Amino acid sequence: MRVLITGGAKELGRAFSEVLGAQGHRLVITGRDEKALDAAEAELKARGVDVSAHVADLGDPDATPKLIESLGGIDVLVNNGALGGPVGPTWQVDENEWWHTFEVNLRGTAFAANAAIRTMTSGRIINVVSNAGVHRWPYVTAYSVSKAAVIKLTENLAIELKHRPIAALSYDPGMVDVGLMRRGATMESDDPDQQRISEWARSQRDAGRFTPLEQSVDLLARIVSGEFDHRSGGLITPQDG
């Protein structure tokens, strides 16, 4: 299948790319960081993966949709790219940074999904979300609220798509020891709000609440394969693995 993974060159997205590439899917990966994209493309190609890497900023409402349209149809969209957003009491953080997190995490995800749905005949949209969008994550509200909105968007899309062979699923990969959570757990900061988040992340990791990366990536691969299409609109979590 032809799978587009936003943020597919780094961290969790990179792990997704490696496993999906090894399974023989044809990959298109995006992000903002051209160097990282070029490196990921070269490394994946060296392992025999059919992959092309493209700079596409999810903060630009046209970039990812234009890319998807230029591809003339994909089978699966993995909306993985996202920002962690500002940390601190909501009324004190930079409001432009707070709002930009929605532009990337919500609008970027929604517009990529729209373009994929307009051009695909069948397949699935997989929106990577977080437990922070189900419960809460005080002091990280742009991230938490934007992920909650993506979960609700996915539920609505699934109903709108019910007469087409396209599934829409939310996927919470669990807390994994890469990317956002690893940075959270290892961060050194003098800022008390950052410290609070960092201590919480360490406490979760030390209590064994992290999901092993391999498990998280394997479950994503099963969703990509169509195994969970019957749950279109729903949220798949590590417990489903």
Ligand X SMILES: NC(=O)c1ccc[n+]([C@@H]2O[C@H](COP(=O)([O-])OP(=O)(O)OC[C@H]3O[C@@H](n4cnc5c(N)ncnc54)[C@H](OP(=O)(O)O)[C@@H]3O)[C@@H](O)[C@H]2O)c1
Residues 175-194 that bind ligand X (CB under 6 A): 175-176, 178-181
What's the CA gap between 68 and 66, in Å, rounded?
A: 5
Q: Is residue 85 within 8 Å of residue 98, measured between CB atoms?
A: yes
**Amino acid occupying residue 239:** Q
Q: What angle in degrees, to the nearest 10, is found between the helix axes of 34-46 and 11-22?
A: 20
10 binds ligand X (CB under 6 A): yes
Q: Return the number of the residue (33 or 95) whose C-beta is nearest ligand X.
A: 33
Q: Which is nearer to ligand X, 173 or 233 (CB)?
A: 173
Residues 6+ apart with CB under 8 A from 213: 12, 15, 176, 177, 178
- Residue 12 makes contact with ligand X by CB under 6 A: yes
Residue 30 has what DSSP assignment? E
Q: Which of residues 28-87 bind ligand X (CB under 6 A)?
A: 31-33, 36, 57-59, 80-84
Least distance to ligand X, CB of residue 74, Å:
16
**Residue with smaller CB distance to ligand X, 4 or 158:** 4
Tell the smallest beta-carbon distance from residue 165 to ligand X (Å).
25
- Of residues 226, 157, 240, the one with CA closest to residue 3: 226
Q: Min. distance of Cβ 212 from ligand X in angstroms?
A: 11
Q: Which residue from 202, 165, 171 is spatially nearest to 186, judged by alpha carbons?
A: 202
**Residue 217 engages ligand X in binding (rule: CB under 6 A):** no
Query: Rounded CA gap, 164 and 195, in Å?
Result: 47
Q: Does 240 bind ligand X (CB under 6 A)?
A: no
Q: Is residue 196 involved in binding ligand X (CB under 6 A)?
A: no
Q: Which residues bind ligand X (CB under 6 A)?
A: 6-7, 9-13, 31-33, 36, 57-59, 80-84, 104, 128, 130, 173, 175-176, 178-181
